[in-house]
Amino acid sequence: MNTNVEELRKAAGRLVLSYESQVSTIGSAVNASNGILDAFKKERVAINNRLEKSLTRNASLRKKDFVNMMRDFNLYQEEREQEIKRKIDAFLKQQRKLAPELKALLEGVNRGDTNNSKAIISDIQRRQAEATREISEAIRSFQEEHEQFITEACKILTSTTGLSVADFKNWLGQAQPYKNAMTATSGKMAGYG
């Protein structure tokens, strides 16, 4: 029985160290994530400006028409950014709630109360791993989408034939992973070019 209590103390201690380590990196991770999102947004705006200039210069597209064509795409991007920020906020809230749980767990183990301690430790570790995985996956996915958009936009901007409205509409309709966001726009785009 004494060995069991000691094992739980060690496990709880490792969990506290893990928690402290995670809390110390949360601030820098949040700042880095916000910095990444801001950099992505600036890059997207710059590419949009280049696309708009190319289309207005080469294809006589009005700025208003370009804005309308890009509305759903830009909305999709902003929603994705907000989704990541919500996940980060939820993670921070979870970490704040975890401190009292850890304190109660350690107090219970120190009193010799081992009932459910292993299950509580396991649940806390599972929740931490799940939240970390969700945030990492959301950022990774968003980064991949962003890089693909930038790559595809740069390709179409550097085409030797010049950018036409028809080429742009075709590209915009095919741009992955934005097809779903653009489906609603396809009817609106029919009147352009």
The string of pLDDT tens digits covering residues 85-128 is 888 888 878 877 777 777 777 777 777 776 777 777 788 778 87
Give per-residue pLDDT as tens, 25-51.
666 667 777 788 888 889 999 999 998
* DSSP summary character for residue 159: -
DSSP string spanning 74-89?
HHHHHHHHHHHHHHHH
pLDDT band at 20 (very low <50, low <70, confident <90, very high): low
Is residue 168 pLDDT above 50, yes or no? yes
pLDDT band at 24 (very low <50, low <70, confident <90, very high): low
pTM of the predicted protein model: 0.69
Mean residue pLDDT across the chain: 77
**3-class state of residue 153 by DSSP:** helix
* DSSP summary character for residue 158: T
